[in-house]
Structure 1
């Protein structure tokens, strides 16, 4: 896992601008703490920061084949061993044991159709010296981030916006469209917040040469007939999950699993523990918890039970070496931690303690492990969220996660000044995005109305919602040099489960029926029967009180640019509410306001609100 950056300029001698490329590359030192390198030619410059995972001495980058191509690569190709064998048979010779070299040779053999041979998570850029073109490729599900910024004579690119923003050609401008998506939570494809900057889309190839920039989609969610019966479907999911977890345990560094006590992470934990036990190893697991949470837990709109009892059941069953990372309100609300999260994510996402706790969890894990497997994305693949099973949310005519009433998504624009709310017109924007997203869903002839509806809901989560979570996971983990792998994003599993009818996804009358039955052999009964519970959030009023104090301090700054967006009166009112009775929507609003406050200070953006 690494950070990549680069600059293509067909009218400039970049050998004279090496210091700029070095600056772009150095912004991602956290993503790659083990090594750095640059490769500069007159029209192209590539930069790389490395987190060594496989072939620690041999995988240095940028990697080049003289006179043919050079590459910077971030991610993992889980099937690189098989690809290496195939390329050897085709006459290729290798100098390292790294997956990077396999991907480079795969490109030399198949061109950009190398993507059809890859299983993994990746974002890479190849400068093809033979045709003087840059080829940028991102994995099918968008697990690894990748951005680009067209210039008059080429392009800038990087794993994160901060790498691009380090180049003087990139302006730090945020316009109305950028702010709309920031507040709307609809994950418009290609959005980056920064004007003129774009994401390389998941499953997309972007090619840059003297004639311009072209894009090609090489993978999307296709509707296919599912012919397997229930028993066969469960068995196929079991086979896929077992193979995926086994592949993703391959590393030359310490590994672990993120264990929340839910079905998803517990299934990965059980499969991983069994695999390592067969190799004479003991699995390490980590969880995040909050001081006093279990003793004082109160059910809320999305959580019925605390995680801790279920975590203990799983750790006891599989015999893992388990550690709880327990956080207190002061740590969660620490402004310096918030600033580190903002610097990692480049956007004021407003997720509050769910962001800071994730960052602190990853920081603690990094002291003992370099690779972690996660249960992220199972809810999107198998239909696990509560709003999948809420008729009002499903039939709301908008994104179900926005229709389902919870603090994170309710009243997202309430903190904004009235004139800003009018300019953004969030209801109209969300309606437009929903219509666009639904129109892109492919259906089967003869599909029942129920299956059409639920295919649409599943597609919205896999094409939009999950990408917000994957970006969050990647940025928070790579900020501390931890590689987090997501087994549920293996495209084979995604394609197979996406095309199973909704009746199969819920055949036992519960959410995620297929996953529950496919992995019940590695689960304790308590977890197998547990109702879906999302990533935890602290319930300690001390956290809200800490936010209120910081809000009051911000309000004393009369000329702070944050108040170009945030309504002072609104922030004052919520800062005076009793923290013990504060609503989740109000708390989320303060978190968003504080994120914006620090983001303005860190990034100094130029606002263009038309």
Structure 2
């Protein structure tokens, strides 16, 4: 896992622009704390920061391969989980390897198959290859978009990087945010390919882009397809279990300490139980980590998305599988530290308003990184198997918008921070509706599919292409900010494609959410965990945290910070003075968003254009 960046210019000699490349590469230091290097050709410059996970001495980058016709150079971020099989196939085709790294397998795979390499990879990856033989840049992103990849077209080429900050470090990229960027910030439905910054794009999941002197061309090498599901219930459950066993085994491979994130929910518990069984067969014990908050039992308030506390289920699971478990208990005052907010916004490159949920995730990952370098997460199982409450809420399903925004509170909560005149100019409702209709239009359907099955296929597609992207980006940014590699087994494209085509009636065969996953792993879980209802990532209800956030917001209002131009001052003032016992979740989000905006302005000095 690493941070990559680069610059291609067909009218410049980039060998004379090393300071700019070094500046771009430095921004990726958090993603790659173990090593850094650059490679420069006349028209291409590549930068790399390495987090060593596989073949610690041999996987250095940028990696090059010499051919009779010229050099091929690559910067690569991620993991190819099928690299062992690919290496064997390439050896059979005459390739010789100097390292044991998956990076070299990917590079030599390009030499053998060219752009067709993308079809052969199983993993999470984002990489760029400069081919001096044809003077072209090939950029490839994994099928589900687990690893990020941004690019910015210039007058004679392109800038790219794992994160926007790498691109913004180049003087050719201006930190401008226009109306479309603001719409991305203030809604929770990620537009595929869109980035917050003007002129910047995100390579879409499952896409490949090629740049040469003739311009940039991007196309999909993989997308979800609608196919006939022919397996009955028993065969479907058995196949899902077979896939999960294979996926976890592949993703536990590393030459560094690894662990799992355990929340006590069905998803992380199933994944952890499979890992525990596999490691036990090798004479090892799985290590697990969970987040908790000081005095959470006294302060906890049930919410729709988080009705129960995690800790009792975490401990039941840890006792059941016999693991090396550690609770990371966080203090409300520490989470409210302005320096921590600054680190989180720097990691995310945008003001999300997630507040303590982002702050605690950062601190959790930082604590895990002291003991492990690789962690497996249960992220995306709800999107794959249909686990969210609104999958089973008729009103949300029939709403003419994204179902997770169908609730009045959540839909309006994201925009309440905005002054009324700015909200009217941005017209977030129209933006969301257009995005929703676009997603519906591209949803693959079987011939003749109609009624409930058609609607639920659409709902699943919305989650797998619009919602999961925001969650994967959050997890990647928070983990890589502290040099931790987080892997997501439920995003394996084989599993996603198979379950996507499983009829909704089969996904809910026992009248509950995630019926197939529960049936496939019930034998590994204690009864309480197997039967637990969905509970999302926890929030802290520590009054010290909430009080500190309110105090910081009052200071912000008194200082007259320029970020307040994007804030509704009256609502912000009311939220900052609300009683600790009466403050609403929407008011908390408003406070967090305002503080995030202020830090974002301080860090990036964005030029904001509202019209």
Give the TM-score normalised by structure 1.
0.99
Match of 1:509? 511
- Deviations along 1:157-184, whole A, 9 cap, x unmatched? 0000000000000000000110011101
The CA deviation string for residues 424-454 of structure 1, in whole angstroms up to 9 with x for no partner, is: 1111111111111111111112324100000
Q: Does 1:586 align with 2:592?
A: no
Query: Which of 408, 416, 423 matches 2:425?
Result: 423
Provide the rounded CA distance (Å) in 2 between the counterparts of 1:75 and 1:300: 35
Q: CA deviation at 1:542?
A: 2.6
Contact 2:144 / 2:493 at 8 angstroms: preserved in 1?
yes
Closer, same or farther: CA 321–410 of 1 in aligned 2, 3 Å: farther
Classify the secondary structure of the residue corresponding to 1:446.
Answer: coil
1:35 and 2:35 matched: yes
**Gapped runs of 5+ residues in structure 2?**
none
Q: What is the CA–CA distance in structure 1 between the aligned matches of 2:407 and 2:280, rounded to whole Å?
A: 42
User: Which residue is 2:500 aligned to?
Assistant: 498
Match of residue 138 from structure 1: 141
Matches within 5 A, 1:73-88: 73-88=76-91
Question: Is residue 129 from structure 1 mapped to residue 132 from structure 2 by the alignment?
Answer: yes
Deviations 1:555-592 (A, max 9, x none): 1112x210221122221111111022111111111111
SS at match of 2:559: coil
Residues 387 and 404 in structure 1, CA contact (< 8 A), matched pair in contact too: no
Q: How far did 1:541 drift? A: 2.8
Kindly state the Cα deviation for residue 411 of structure 1 after the two structures are TM-superposed.
Answer: 2.4
Unaligned runs of 5+ residues in structure 1 are none
The correspondence for 2:328, drawn from 303, 325, 330, is 325
Aligned residues: 608
Contact 1:542 1:579 in 2 (8 A): no
Q: Does 1:25 align with 2:25?
A: yes
Partner of 2:565: 564
Aligned-pair CA distance for 1:303: 2.0
Where 2:378 maps in the other structure, the secondary structure is coil
d(CA) in 2 for partners of 1:404, 1:96: 53
CA distance in structure 2 between the partners assigned to 1:537 and 1:95 by the alignment = 48
SS in structure 2 opposite 1:364? Answer: helix
Partner of 1:102: 105
Aligned to 1:534: 536
> For the structure 1 residues 406 and 85, does the alpha-carbon distance in structure 2 shift closer, same or farther, using more than 3 Å as the test?
farther
Moved more, 493-502 or 322-331: 322-331
Establish whether residue 62 from structure 1 lines up as the match of residue 51 from structure 2.
no
> 1:386 Cα deviation (Å)?
0.5
| Residue 411 (structure 1) aligns with | 413
State the secondary structure of the residue aligned to 1:121.
strand
- Whether contact under 8 Å (1:294, 1:308) holds in the other structure is no
Matched, 1:262 2:265: yes
1:251 aligns with one of 251, 254, 267: 254
From 312, 315, 318, the counterpart of 1:315: 318
**8 Å CA contact retained: 1:338, 1:595:** yes
Deviations along 1:388-412, one digit per CA (max 9) or x if unpaired, are 11111111110001013555x4421
Is 1:259–1:311's contact at 8 Å kept on the other side of the alignment? yes
Residue 600 of structure 2: aligned partner: 599
Distance 2:529 2:409 in 1: 24
SS at structure 2 position matched to 1:247: helix
Please show how residues 163-562 of structure 1 align to structure 2 within 5 Å.
163-405=166-408, 407=410, 409-558=411-560, 560-562=561-563
Please tell me the root mean square deviation across aligned C-alpha atoms, in Å.
0.9
Residue 129 of structure 2 aligns to a residue whose secondary structure is strand
DSSP 3-state at the match of 1:228: coil
**1:144–1:61 CA distance, 2 compared to 1 (3 A):** same
1:335 positional shift:
1.1
What secondary structure sits across from 1:466 in the alignment? helix
**Per-residue displacement from partner, 1:512-566 (whole Å, max 9, x unpaired)?**
00000101121111000101111111122332211110000001112x2102211
| Cα offsets for 1:348-398 (capped at 9, x unmatched) | 111111100000000000000000000000000000001111111111110
What's the CA shift for 1:266? Answer: 0.2
Q: Which moved more, 1:256-265 or 1:520-529?
A: 520-529
Distance apart, 1:73 and its partner CA: 0.1
Q: CA deviation at 1:415?
A: 1.3
